[in-house]
Amino acid sequence: MNYQEFMQIIKETVEMIAPEGTNVSINHVIKNNGKEMDGLSIMEKNYNIAPSIYLDRYYKQALEGRNISDIAQEILAIHNDNKDNFSFDCDRFADYKSIKNRIAYKLINYERNQKLLQDIPYIKIMDLALVFYCIYSQEAGSSASVLIKNSHLEMWDIDINTLHQDAKNNTPKLLESMVKPMSSMLHDIAGRMCHDGLELDEEAKNIIDFVDDYDSTLSECREDDMYILTNKTMINGACTMIYEGVLDNLATQLNKDLYILPSSIHELIVIPKKSNLEEDDLKSMVWQVNREGVSKDEVLSDSVYYYSSGTKQLCTI
């Protein structure tokens, strides 16, 4: 049984056990950094949105001998557990004036997202692309949103300049920036995980990997000399480095130019410039961590960025 055959069989099996009148579909999704996945959606009557349940891990289970019926039952159970957690007003989304205050932006890698960028509006910034999305729910650690496509601009009869200006106004308000010393952030993460009885989440691991695995590179920096820059949800927080005044205020406070190291699309590590920090070492560290410590779809860039307090310019080094 190849993958295409599996998808068709699992779709037909779910259709047989789903409530009458349910539409079961498989959608091919292009995610960040060229990662492509197939998701099965179960749309019931009186619902206008449904979560996508990705099938790759279930295909592996089927090849290992798991019964197709068991897989279909699990997929339906996941759908039933989550279907009421999603709500989306299609009529409101079709009216740009109704949702313009929920438009935000995020940063992704330009070269690694060429296929995705063919279908969505974007603005190139250094080696990155600024892309846009509509937030319809958010809280610390989770967010539900719709990526804005070129077809949406046509539907709304607006251009990218309007979209960008609205996102520029909204994003710092909806997703307020947060700068914390490394030591304080690690203490907060450890306390939260201990209190909840949980293991470290991926964002925490990304941060810790940058420090623990490469203390030879950062040996001249104490944890209090390094800062985490993200937003209050810690989701897609790397774009905070282009918020107006954020880097300038930190550089002024520290009286130093800044190195910005992308630990993922969600957060950045900011290090005040020191004479004994080698830029090539920082580049090597980012490159290696992106291949060993960060999942493919969460890598932002292999670059190290530099903010000059004198020229007030952000650039790659």
Domain-wise residue ranges, the chain: 3-85, 90-174, 177-316
Best CA proximity match to 206, nearest among 277, 266, 260, 247: 266
Determine the pLDDT at residue 51: 78
Percent of the chain surpassing pLDDT 70: 84
* Ranges of residues in the chain whose predicted pLDDT is under 70: 86-88, 137-143, 185-224, 275
Residue 92 contacts residue 102 (beta carbons within 8 Å): no
Using alpha carbons, list the distances in angstroms from residue 20 to 44, 77, 87, 236.
8, 16, 21, 39
Determine the pLDDT at residue 145: 84
Give 100's Cβ-side CA count (13 Å radius).
16
Determine the pLDDT at residue 195: 46
Q: At what angle do helices 3-17 and 56-63 cross, to 10 degrees?
A: 100
> Going by C-beta distance under 8 Å and a sequence separation of 6 or more, which residues neighbour residue 47?
83
Determine the pLDDT at residue 199: 55
Determine the pLDDT at residue 266: 95
